[in-house]
Amino acid sequence: MQPETKVGRAEAARWSGALDLLRLLRTEPGITRTEAARVLQLTSGSATEICARLRALGLLSERPARPGGRGRPTFTLHAHPEGPLAVAVDLRHAEWCVAVGDLEGRLSDVRTEAHRDRSPEAVLAAIGGAVKRLSRRYGPRVRAVSVSVIATVQHHRIAQASGLGWEDVEVAPLIPGVLQLTGNNANLAGLAEARRVHPDKTLLFLTVEAGVGGVFVDRGRAITGATGAGGEFGHLPFGDPSVTCGCGAQGCWETAVDGRFLARRLGRAEPDDPGAFLASVLAEDSPESQAAVKESAAAFGRGTAGLVNALDPEIIAIGGAAPDLRRTTGPVLDEAYGAALMHFRRSDPPELQRATLGEDAALLGAADAAFDEILTEYGLNTWSDSH
């Protein structure tokens, strides 16, 4: 998190309009200066002054807008080509990915590599090497490193990654002296989905990958609890209580849904990659496989309804293998979802929608979390001091 610092009233006032403009640019890249002034309720003179200050600091660039209609010409707003960056890391079940994110939410320099050795030391060393190469390339422009992990994360520390066999692992600073954050992959994927697709809604995001994960996002703010470990929906006791989950609890929801469930149901060995195994079983056409997949879909639908009953979202976005699970099983998932809803919800239930960001979702969310810290009075002060 941010270092402890006092930002005086004068400093806060200095940056308030600038921060509002930069945060708006992050959500609406290429917005015109005129429209930004309208949204932020700034006078034309104030908007011009703020933009000039941000250009001088290497935070903003402007381009002439295409002529359209009456009125004075305006400019579109963009990230400065030498502006601040965040390094985003996505540590997945079978691979890791690193990228650079800019103020406009774009990813570049994306690199993906399969795990050669799943020990924490080997994986983090490989990631560290890739991050250091980006640091050498971009230097002080990198203002934060944000790590997404397929794990339970508490206080920015990996508390448990049962799929990788990790427990209580600290991700040492990948770039010494640079702010570093660590978060759960599903939490960050849901954050990115909510902010880009449903920014003014309450969103329940659910994904089926190596297990079941997700997050509840209230108008762009991820609800992750007191220590950051919230959103572990796959470990709600919606499954068979006789089955012990890799997390140590009994009857977890994901033990009735994911690839490990399908392997048990079909009498096969526990898969090394549950997500890939689930995808392969979805493609099988044997009666036994189809019956197992329908059980998985029904369990996912019932659990989703339970979360709707508890959290009251406006929209549900499903990612990972969940959309294919729904498509493959026809009405099974939706019928189980509807039957488990409280009666008063059934006439107008929250709609299940396919998540839109694909494999980049967690990387985008990690970059979003980083820029939440960069775009603060403290973050702009430190950037200004170096420029």
Please write the tens of the pLDDT for every residue from 213-251: 999 999 999 999 999 999 999 999 999 999 999 899 999
The reported pLDDT for the residue numbered 289 is 96
- Long-range own/partner contacts, residues 48-52 (CB < 8 A, 24 or more apart): 50/17, 50/18, 50/21, 51/21, 51/75, 51/77
List C-alpha distances in Å: 76 to 64, 69, 103, 327: 6, 15, 14, 41
The reported pLDDT for the residue numbered 1 is 43
Residue 3 in this model has a pLDDT that exceeds 50: no
Residue 165 in this model has a pLDDT that exceeds 50: yes
Q: Which amino acid is at 383?
A: W
Average pLDDT, the chain: 93
The reported pLDDT for the residue numbered 272 is 87
Residue the block writes with tokens 């990198």: 142
The reported pLDDT for the residue numbered 233 is 97
What mean pLDDT do residues 63-75 have?
74
pLDDT classification of 15: cutoffs 50, 70, 90 = confident
The token duo for 106 is: 């774009």
Which tens digits make up the pLDDT trace of 193-202?
999 999 999 9
153-167, 215-229, 329-343: which has the minimum mean pLDDT? 153-167
Please, what are the domains in the chain? Answer: 9-79 (1.10.10.10), 85-189+361-385 (3.30.420.40), 198-358 (3.30.420.40)
User: In this predicted model, which residue has the larger pLDDT, 257 or 386?
Assistant: 257
Q: Express as a percent the part of the chain with pLDDT over 70.
A: 95
Q: For residues 27, 91, 244 and 281, what is the CA-based torsion angle, rounded to 10 degrees?
A: 90
The reported pLDDT for the residue numbered 70 is 59
Which tens digits make up the pLDDT trace of 36-57?
999 999 999 999 999 999 999 9
Residue 28 in this model has a pLDDT that exceeds 90: yes
Which tens digits make up the pLDDT trace of 72-111?
668 999 999 999 999 999 999 999 999 999 999 999 999 9
Can you give the pTM of this predicted structure? 0.92
**SS3 track for the chain:** CCCCCCCCHHHHHHHHHHHHHHHHHHHCCCCEHHHHHHHHCCCHHHHHHHHHHHHHCCCEEEEECCCCCCCCCCEEEEECCCCCEEEEEEECCCEEEEEEECCCCCEEEEEEEECCCCCHHHHHHHHHHHHHHHHHHHHHHEEEEEEEECCEEECCEEEEECCCCEEEECCCCCCCCCEEEEEEHHHHHHHHHHHHHCCCCEEEEEEECCCEEEEEEECCEEECCCCCCCCCHHHCCCCCCCCECCCCCECCHHHHCCHHHHHHHCCCCCCCCHHHHHHHHHCCCCHHHHHHHHHHHHHHHHHHHHHHHHHCCCEEEEEECHHHHHHHCCCHHHHHHHHHCCHHHCCCCCEEEECCCHHHHHHHHHHHHHHHHHCCHHHHHHHHHCC
Spatial separation of the C-alpha atoms in residues 21 and 52, rounded to whole Å: 12
The reported pLDDT for the residue numbered 210 is 87
